[in-house]
Structure 1
Amino acid sequence: MNELLIVVSKVLLASWSVLLESAPFVLLGFFIAGVLKAFVPDDFVATHLGGGGMASIFKASLFGIPIPLCSCGVLPAAAGLKKQGSGNGPVAAFLISTPETGVDSIAVSWALLDPLMTVIRPVIALFMAIATGIAVSFAGKQSANEVAADIDKSGESACASSCCCSHKKQEKLTVAGKFREGMSFAFGDLLNDVGLWLFIGILLSGLISVFVSTEVVSRYLSNEYLSMLVMFIVSVPLYVCATASTPIVAALALKGISPGAALVFLLAGPATNAASLPVIFRMLGRKSALIYLASIVLISLIGGVVVNDLYSYLGYDITHWVSKGAHEEAGIVSIAASVVLLLLVLKSLLPKKQIGHPR
């Protein structure tokens, strides 16, 4: 029993260490997401992504970067674009760019990884979105009846997430009202959708820190190409959003996983989780969806090789590219942010009171 308590305490301490480092940046990311939600009109993206030309693909890839939607939340948004006439190419680009490059995940990358990976991650995700959109656009068009049926099913199936299934009528609000609404979205709907998975990721990072030794990584994942393939295979069945995947990768990086293998997990996980794939197949059609998946596989693996070469060229040891911070002297800001984030996530897990309406 004592040994079990010691192990549990080690896991919790390791997880707390990750939380201390990431919490201020997570809260900052949610805050920026709320500001974007408040002051970027809901129909802004849809009005710029009509059709299926190259311009729409580039716009879909760029617009997806700041939009605060997670891996599941992007599905009904993409289905809405489809209903409004957007082609498969822009929709595919939007499906990749949006969940992989959110402001919250970029902030956590800065906190837990290194500045170079913080820049490389969204840049390669953007390239992947554009390249996949172009590839899918050449896949041909489905019949009109098939598209209409698939869009309706996609929108219905995808709307299981709380982060974008609100269909409230937009009312004219003051600047203060918009700000309050944006913060309510960021620290309500978005945090409800991402918070639990973030904490699962942080807990997994603690488990990795305690149970996965550098010897295990060097023995079984020392081959950089094999490690990339393993990380891709592991990422596909998991529902790991971009924010939650970062602490997992950070823990593995401290054990010796290469930046290329880390990038494969960071890119493939949010874009290919098992929960979203059936919806994507219905939304894009079988041929386009297979091209979508093939593009993600190829570009993430090629990107991993390029990133390893880049780190080596710059003089980094690809087995020691992330350094552990000294959290024994964590400041009051980190501790306060960790407590606030913990309380917000716990609040999001409490059952919501059902408000009855008089007949």
Structure 2
Amino acid sequence: MTITDPYAIAAAFQAGTEALMEYLSAHVLTCLVPAFFIAGAIAALLDKETVLKYFGPTAPRWLSYCTAATSGTILAVCSCTILPMFAGIEKRGAGIGPATAFLFSGPAINLMAIILTARVLGLELGVARAVAAAGMAVVIGLVMASIFERSEGCPAGKYGTESNPLLPEDDPEQTECCRPKYLTPLFMAVLVAILLAATSSAFGLLPKTAIIAGLVTAAACIMKRYYLPEEREAFLAETGWLARRIFPLLAAGTFITGIISYYLPMEWIRDLFGSSSLLACFLASAIGSVLYMPTLLEVPIVGTLFGYSTGVTAPGPALALLLAGPSLSLPSMIVIWRVIGAKRASVYISLVVIISTLMGMLYGAIIS
């Protein structure tokens, strides 16, 4: 059966449709919707000075990169779910270095994935993944900053961006909004808790629904009681704008990924991953960067589909897959391209693939 065979085309189209339907059913409500609200809160409500303090181009490097590189430990998100949050802090004035370190670390270092890797694929590979991912986040951020660091004279202006209206905290004449400084971090924490509860497998459906309902009610009460109508409108407008900008690209990219997965010669690929050579690790990084690996599912994908658990895939390519796969996918690359531009996106994607390759080779050399 050839690629142009009508039956193959129909099967590939069906594979793309199934991938899209699976993504929509498994990730939209539990992952993307909470992520869009978090991103809207970052872009519309979070004090710009707070973002600049931890992620700004003039923030102390030890602070910004430590924060960015470790923030992923509490976020059980995939390469697509992290994108709205990345877009939010990037729009709010974060430096390109800390922002891309956060973009990589979010899906690459989440605590549940590291623990599952250690339990299913072995302690050595789990530790190697945690150490390599944290180091990669810092290195990628530093390289991106050295190449593309923003000019100090280009922060967002008083009137924000095309989607971000004037916020009360940016206007010195607006004195009505007098609330405790901890309210916005608390509101953000509640939104993050909703995301964590929705993606957790520690609860049954009924307890999970009750927890999420309680958290949503708490967030709504905080928003209604402590925020001005202008702020609420800005929050919802920013959330909707990010959803309209990002979601269609994710859906299209997921559909295309399903088609590509259908045509991938998996048996041939497994044969290539039998050693930790440069070619094997590079192919693993390149393939991982294109395939969509949902959070936690990268472990069975590497262990079963690519044969690491049965000894078919060597340790080097396995680590390269675990580094590049969760942090990138074809849908996420499309969105990253849109958010930060072709040049920055190309450099970021290249860094992920190249450094994942080198980390895989190094780990393979150490293990062997």
Give the TM interval when normalised to the shorter protein.
Answer: 0.5 to 0.7
**Identity within the alignment, %:** 26
CA distance in 2, matches of 1:181, 1:106: 23
Match in the other structure for 1:107: 115
Q: 1:64·1:94 contact (CA, 8 Å) conserved in 2?
A: yes
Q: 2:109·2:133 contact (CA, 8 Å) conserved in 1?
A: yes
Q: 1:100·1:242 contact (CA, 8 Å) conserved in 2?
A: no
CA distance in 2, matches of 1:229, 1:83: 33
Structure 1, unaligned runs of 5 or more: 1-29, 31-36, 156-169, 192-211, 313-359
- The 3-state SS of whatever aligns with 1:236 is helix
Match in the other structure for 1:245: 298
- Superposed CA deviations along residues 48-91 of structure 1, whole A, max 9, x for unmatched, are 22335523233211223333332112111111111222110011
Match in the other structure for 1:235: 288
CA distance in 1, matches of 2:153, 2:193: 40
Moved over 3 A (4+): 41-47, 141-148, 151-155, 177-185, 216-221
- Superposed CA deviations along residues 189-243 of structure 1, whole A, max 9, x for unmatched, are 667xxxxxxxxxxxxxxxxxxxx88xx7885433432322332232222211341
Q: CA deviation at 1:94?
A: 0.4
**Distance change (3 Å), C-alpha of 1:153 and 1:105:** farther
TM-score where L is the length of structure 1? 0.55
Structure 1 residue identity aligned to 2:95 = G
**Distance change (3 Å), C-alpha of 1:59 and 1:171:** closer
CA distance in 2, matches of 1:82, 1:133: 13
Match in the other structure for 1:295: 351
Q: CA deviation at 1:131?
A: 0.6
Structure 2 residue identity aligned to 1:48 = Y
CA distance in 2, matches of 1:61, 1:254: 29
1:281-292 aligned at under 5 Å gives the runs: 281-292=337-348
**Distance change (3 Å), C-alpha of 1:295 and 1:184:** closer
- Superposed CA deviations along residues 24-70 of structure 1, whole A, max 9, x for unmatched, are xxxxxx9xxxxxx9xxx996984522335523233211223333332
Query: 1:254 aligned to 293, 309, 312, which one?
Result: 309
Match in the other structure for 1:138: 146
**Distance change (3 Å), C-alpha of 1:218 and 1:101:** closer
1:247-326 aligned at under 5 Å gives the runs: 247-251=300-304, 252-255=307-310, 256-312=312-368
CA distance in 2, matches of 1:110, 1:154: 43
CA distance in 1, matches of 2:194, 2:316: 37
Q: 2:96·2:144 contact (CA, 8 Å) conserved in 1?
A: yes
Match in the other structure for 2:56: 50
Structure 2, unaligned runs of 5 or more: 1-30, 32-37, 165-180, 202-265
- Superposed CA deviations along residues 3-29 of structure 1, whole A, max 9, x for unmatched, are xxxxxxxxxxxxxxxxxxxxxxxxxxx
CA distance in 1, matches of 2:315, 2:274: 12
**Distance change (3 Å), C-alpha of 1:179 and 1:52:** closer
- The 3-state SS of whatever aligns with 1:69 is coil
Structure 2 residue identity aligned to 1:117 = L
Structure 2 residue identity aligned to 1:227 = A
CA distance in 2, matches of 1:179, 1:60: 17
Q: 2:333·2:349 contact (CA, 8 Å) conserved in 1?
A: no
Match in the other structure for 2:103: 95
The alignment covers a number of residue pairs equal to: 237
